[in-house]
Amino acid sequence: MSIYEELQARGLIAQVTDEAEIRELINNGGARFYIGFDPTADSLHVGHFMALCLMKRLQMAGNRPVVLIGGGTGYIGDPSGRSDMRSMLTPEIIQHNCDCFKKQMERFIEFGEDKALMVNNADWLLDLNYIELLREVGAHFSVNNMLRAECYKQRMEKGLSFLEFNYMIMQAYDFWYLHNNYGCNMEFGGDDQWSNMLAGTELIRRKEGEDAYAMTITLLLNSEGKKMGKTARGAVWLDPGKTSPYEFYQYWRNVDDADVMKCIRMLTFIPLEEIEEMEKWDDSRINEKKEILAYSLTALVHGEEEAAKAKATATAIFSGAGDDANMPSTEIDEADIPEDGIQLADLMVICKLAESKGKAKKLIEQGGVSLDGTKVSDIFAVVSKDMLRASVKIQKGKKVFHKAKIR
């Protein structure tokens, strides 16, 4: 099966500018494509991960990827599909974020001669001359059309600044620049990028009279129509310091029944034949599917070893036996513990199991907290220093386990 058909079968393709041409191009390894990443945080998240996977898939099929880091566009902020303005980032933060992205991507995609290439649009966007840009590029854009673009819809009601309105032009400029300087003939991106990407192909057509293509990836939505990869605490990050491999594993282990197969198909590299096979499995094996999903994604992002550890930890915690050495844990300085012990509620705050002491107490009150396997009922319960020296296991609710001990 060729790559285009595979992408299709996995449900990854959302929109394409010209199906026949694109199929031809990527199936024969003739695409030099780029995907842009705006440095809005200091780590990549699940949404980026899909784009990286796509890149990898296409690279394996012989196409040449260009990773575009939005060091320049990061100064503007993409309004697509957003209801509020992005906060403006300072140059220092943008630079820092770019560096973090680069580090994470290097783990995932092969860079080098004839392999993937990484460029930063700060290199060409920051030096643009306003008047020149208006004449060279601005002349080719119809404000009437831009205003009709889907990506601005929401913002037409809530307000859109001129700064953000220009994001599309910058992205189009990127495509044009990469087309001329790196021979890029295709852009990939999330489906919310569609208008911006079309703007790029238009610009290339008008300025160069040449065809360029664009294709978007289906956004990963759960059965409720919400973007996946978000938790109460925010995004699911790829940086193990921000989302530990165990948490990452648990996120996928806990997806809705209705979303498992979709996730497996879209996110993992499990061969389609095997996926077809799994599709036929009996409902009773639903948890097995979730484990496969969680394991293979954790392995992709953090490596086999971490994935195995995460799985072992999960098994240990939820089946009651086995090695729980990798349970999320917090080490506390002995000096921070009073001589006669610390209140469990305080300890929970230190371990970030509760936002405030009051909330911790309420959790205990409601019967949601166990200490070393026994339910705690006293909101003033104290954990002694000796217990902490040995390490205590705190359980919040059914699924959150945490170990605390003195360093």
Residues that bind RNA (CB under 7 A): 156-161, 231-232, 250, 253-257, 283, 286-287, 290, 314-315, 317-318, 349, 355-359, 361-363, 365-368, 379, 396-400
Residues 247-275 as b/e (b if ≥16 CB within 10 A, e otherwise) read bbbbbbbebeeebbbbbbbbbbebeeeeb
d(CA 56, CA 52): 6
Q: How far is CA 67 from CA 28, 152, 156, in A?
A: 20, 25, 31
User: For RNA, which is the closer residue by CB, 253 or 262?
Assistant: 253
Residue 174: CB partners within 8 Å, gap ≥ 6?
A: 34, 36, 68, 73, 121, 125, 200
Nearest Cα neighbor of 59 from 22, 37, 34 is 34
- Using CA atoms of 400, 401, 406, 407 in order, give the dihedral in degrees to the nearest 10: -90
Q: Which residue has the tokens 């990798």?
A: 326
DSSP conformational letter for 31: -
User: For RNA, which is the closer residue by CB, 111 or 318?
Assistant: 318
CB of 353 to RNA, least distance (A): 9
DSSP calls for 82-126: -SSPPPPPPHHHHHHHHHHHHHHHHHHS-BSTTSBEEEETHHHHT
CB of 259 to RNA, least distance (A): 8
d(CA 373, CA 375): 7
d(CA 205, CA 170): 16
CB of 10 to RNA, least distance (A): 22
User: For RNA, which is the closer residue by CB, 199 or 376?
Assistant: 376
User: For RNA, which is the closer residue by CB, 31 or 236?
Assistant: 236
Q: Which amino acid is at 258?
A: A
